[in-house]
Each structure stands twice: as structure tokens, then as C-alpha cells.
Amino acid sequence: MSDDFTRVEAHNCPMSSCAAPAGSPCRTGKGRVAIQYHTARFRLVPQLAKALAVTTPAVRRPGAAWTELPRPAGAGTEPVGHARLGYARASTARQSLDSQLDALAEAGVTRVFSEKISTRATRRPELEKVVGLARELRASGVRVTLVVHEHKRLGRGIDLAALAEDLKASDVGLEFLTGELQGSHDPSGVVFTVLAALSGMEREYIRDRTLEGHESARKRGKTIGGAGVADDHMISMALHLRDQEMSLRDIAARLVITTGKKKGRHPSPATVMRMLREHDEKTRAAS
């Protein structure tokens, strides 16, 4: 029988949903022994760094109720090493990723997450995966660097600055292989600081311009925001459900819009929160 599992179990599992101590197999969210060890855990073993999966052996009774096993002698020492995770992105399906992938391979990156998606997309699944893995590996004590061909592959302006802030909070380094920000950047370095400042400045600029636009529109008698969907009956029902200590999501699921383009649909939890807040403010002002 392979001894891969003993190498994996020499480390604590860095997955917050598992956190199995050294000497024990990984566990599922339902308290069972996992069928496979979590990726973030077996990536800590150099010999298994490129493995797609490491199966939990029969001796650990996968699928059975999880129990903590005795820790091996010498366990609990902080993992060491340096993980270099790569990310490649193209905006359209017609664009090729080959040049980025070749550059990442030449830079010694062995694990690459890639996707063809616009920076305007609200979610980039592969980027979320690589950032999530970077956080977990760093939490286990491994030094981590996210390597990208050029900073534009991650995003622009406020999006890039927000991502840099996220990586800095997780103590994950950045490395750009080409472009204006070419080089390795430590989380405590100037690049993270500049990008964070850019994020704040851009947010303030957008906020100020938005408020100026709103004020200008009000002076001309224009209504700010979308069409209202609340009526007296909806507000009364929402107040009644709130008194029963129901969540905003549950309240929204029980309300129905009766007028306008959204007639017959449920309001969003955000709309319910705004409706209740405005009602409370008017009540306080009246009293």
C-alpha cells in the first residue's frame, strides 16, 4: 500500500472547513472521513505537488464517522517552502493563452489557473480559485506568490487595487512577468500600498461625482433611483414579519410586488431593508 497518505498526514489540514490535525485523515463538512485528502493539504508535500488527488486509504475508513487519531511524534511543526501559483486570462474565446502559459512555465510555475473571460465580468471563477488556494497555503505557513504575465490580466484600476488589498491582507506576494509593474512585489511593499491608495482615491472620486450628479438632478426636480415597488400593504406586511424576527431574505420571499414592471415578483432583501429603514426614519422624525 502506498505511503502517500502518511506524508500528507504529517501536516495539519489548512482548510478551515476541515482543520484535521496531523495524524488524522481529512473530514467532510458532515463529520465523515473524506474520500480524498483536501488539495491544500497534499500540496504541502513536494512529491505530491502536481497530483490531481490523493485518495484516503481503506485503513482510514473513508465515509465513516471522523475521529481524531493520535498525532505522530514530531508533528505540528510549521510547514516550509514556497508555492508559486499562476493565473492566465484572455478577454475573449478567440484569444490564445499560449504565450501567457509558456511564460508562466518558464518562470517555474507548476500550477496555473486559466480562463477566457472579460474583466467586466462580476465573477471570475478561476481567479477566485487561485486566490482561495493561495490563502489556504499561506495560512498553513507556506510562502505564496501569485504569478501573472501582466497586471492587466488581473484587472484594471479599482478592481486591481481591491484584489491587491485582498492579497496583502492574506500576506500573499505578487509577481508580474512583464509590463509596467514587472517584478516581484512583497505584500508589505510599495506596489500594494500604491494600488490600495489608488483604490481609495478612485472610490472617493466616483462617490463625489455620483453625489454631484444626484444634487444636480434634484435641483431639476428629477427622481433619484429606480421606481419604487413598495406600497402601504407591503410595508405593513414587512413590519409584521420583522416583528416575528424573520430574516430579510425570508421576508422578501413572502412579499409580492403589485405594480410596475416587476409586478408579480418578490422584492430583493436589499429593497426590503431599505423600505424598513425608510419607514423607521420617518417614524422617528414624526415622533
The domain boundary residue, chosen from 175, 198, 221: 198
* CB contact at 8 A, 161 and 195: yes
From the number of C-beta atoms within 10 Å of its C-beta (0-12, 13-18, 19+), residue 52 rates as exposed
The domain boundary residue, chosen from 198, 223, 255: 198
Identity of residue 276: L
Q: Which helix (H) or strand (E) holds 252?
A: helix 248-254
* CB contact at 8 A, 56 and 121: no
Q: Are residues 174 and 248 in the same domain?
A: no
Summarised one tens digit per residue, pLDDT across range 141-183 is 788 999 999 888 887 666 777 787 788 878 888 899 988 778 8
Range of the domain at 272: 232-286
Burial annotation 249-258 (CB, 10 A radius, 16+ → b, else e): eebbeebebe
Q: Are residues 96 and 194 in the same domain?
A: yes
Number of domains in the chain: 3
Assign residue 190 the CATH number of its domain. 3.40.50.1390
* pLDDT lower than 70: segments of the chain: 1-2, 72-80, 156-158, 188-229
* CB contact at 8 A, 184 and 123: no
Q: Is residue 204 part of a domain?
A: no
Q: Are residues 4 and 59 in the same domain?
A: yes
Q: Are residues 181 and 96 in the same domain?
A: yes
| pTM (two decimals) | 0.45
Q: Are residues 43 and 100 in the same domain?
A: no
Phi and psi at residue 82, in whole multiples of 5°? -140, 115
Q: Is residue 219 part of a domain?
A: no
**Which pLDDT value is given to residue 127?**
93
Q: Is residue 221 part of a domain?
A: no
Q: Are residues 109 and 63 in the same domain?
A: no
**Which pLDDT value is given to residue 78?**
47
Q: Are residues 90 and 61 in the same domain?
A: no
Q: Are residues 37 and 12 in the same domain?
A: yes
Q: Per the residue annotation, which of 2, 17, 24, 91 is the catalytic one?
A: 91
Q: Is residue 163 part of a domain?
A: yes
Question: Does the active-site annotation cover 91?
Answer: yes
Phi and psi at residue 77, in whole multiples of 5°? -75, 150
* CB contact at 8 A, 29 and 63: no
Q: Are residues 191 and 107 in the same domain?
A: yes
* CB contact at 8 A, 276 and 252: no
- Residue 279: CB atoms within 10 A of its CB come to 16
Q: Are residues 110 and 191 in the same domain?
A: yes
Q: Is residue 36 part of a domain?
A: yes
Beta carbons within 8 Å of 69's beta carbon, 6+ residues apart: 23, 24, 25
Q: Are residues 107 and 175 in the same domain?
A: yes
Summarised one tens digit per residue, pLDDT across range 215-230 is 666 666 655 444 566 7
The domain boundary residue, chosen from 10, 40, 68: 68
Question: Judging by DSSP bridges, how do beta strands 82-90 and 111-116 pair with one another?
Answer: parallel
Q: Are residues 236 and 266 in the same domain?
A: yes
